[in-house]
A = this chain, B = another copy of it.
Amino acid sequence: MANQNNHKNFTYAIIGSGALGGLYGGMLANAGFEVHFLLHRDFEHVQENGFQVESHWGDFHLPAASIADRIHASPETMPACDVTIIGLKTTNNHLLSTLLPAPTADGGVVLVLQNGLGIESDAAAVVNQIGNQSNEASRVLTGCCFLCSNKIAPGHIRHLDQGRIVFGDWQDCDGLQRSEESKKTSLDRPKSISPIAKQIEADFHAAGIEAQTTDDMLLTRWRKLLWNIPFNGLSVILNASSKELIDDEDAARLARLLMLEVQRGAAACGVTIPDEMIEKTLEVTRTMVPYDSSMRLDYLANRPMEIESLFWAPVHAAANAGCEMPMTRALALQLGFLQRR
């Protein structure tokens, strides 16, 4: 299956083999691609037991023997790969300068699958120090995963619902807002999807991953925030699942008001979120499985939450464009308090 597209197969490095990296990397490996996983706490468990993936797309197991030379406790032992997928939380971005150089080949690309705004620049700063600087293609791809997946035990992923990756080339526009000029002309968007992105999309499809390239990742990131800001934020603050929130009259009203505020913030940054997208996002949440957002799991496990990338980055991007997001700001401050408790 991995060879169906008649190109030399890309090799993949997964940095952060959790709910996201473990799922997508596991699916690529399960489909026959060469995938190298960087593991931290789970290394010994996976070395002994392999990866267990329960997915609404189909369960599978990667036996320990089949991935013995593909799992790594340190980036130093990883071979240089064509595509390095970053599935770490943005709260670990300070580690990227240590983690990216070994697995990222000269001319290889990094695909940043993290939440929030402006999060690509950390990876870009590292990658642009690696290998051939004259490579004219962008070395950084960026994507959002519309995904309900949790790591429920070491080496054990439970993928509950959805799963689509929307990704594309990253243009160095800070990842925050369009230039004044481009707000009308879309000049700072990639003219087309790069061949590398198209090949990765084909690989994802070959592995059974729902994936889609886009020339408008800034819109995609704000669309993702449309869900993350209300539901990640309120799930922590109100100690509730997405289902409990959407089923409550007041919490659902607040979610909608937050979405309208995100829509205004996006508009100030030159990104148009259509009204129907708000209704659709609410509707999808209503029919989605009850889900503990990654931020809620981080909070309950006493790990740092992605308050900067998910809340402060859009609040500041909008404020710089002249638009206040007072409700989102209030959520960010509430989360800051809860983080320190």
Question: Which residues of A approach B to under 8 Å, CB–CB?
Answer: 234, 237-238, 240, 245, 248-251, 253-254, 257-258, 261, 326-327, 329-338, 340-341
Contact = CB atoms under 8 A, between A and B. Distances in A.
Contact of A330 (B248, B330, B341): B330
Contacts of A250: 332-337, 340
A240 B338 CA distance: 10
Contacts of A254: 330, 333-334, 337
Nearest to A337: B251
A240 B237 CA distance: 12
A312 to B, nearest CB: 11
A240 to B, nearest CB: 7
A237 B341 CA distance: 13
A337 B335 CA distance: 17
A228 to B, nearest CB: 16
Contacts of A333: 250-251, 253-254, 257
Contact of A248 (B237, B240, B331, B337): B337
A253 B257 CA distance: 22
Most buried by B among A240, A245, A254, A331: A254
Nearest to A251: B337
Contacts of A248: 336-337, 340
B338 A238 contact: yes
A251 B339 CA distance: 11
Contacts of A251: 333-334, 336-337
Contacts of A336: 248-251
Most buried by B among A257, A327, A333: A333
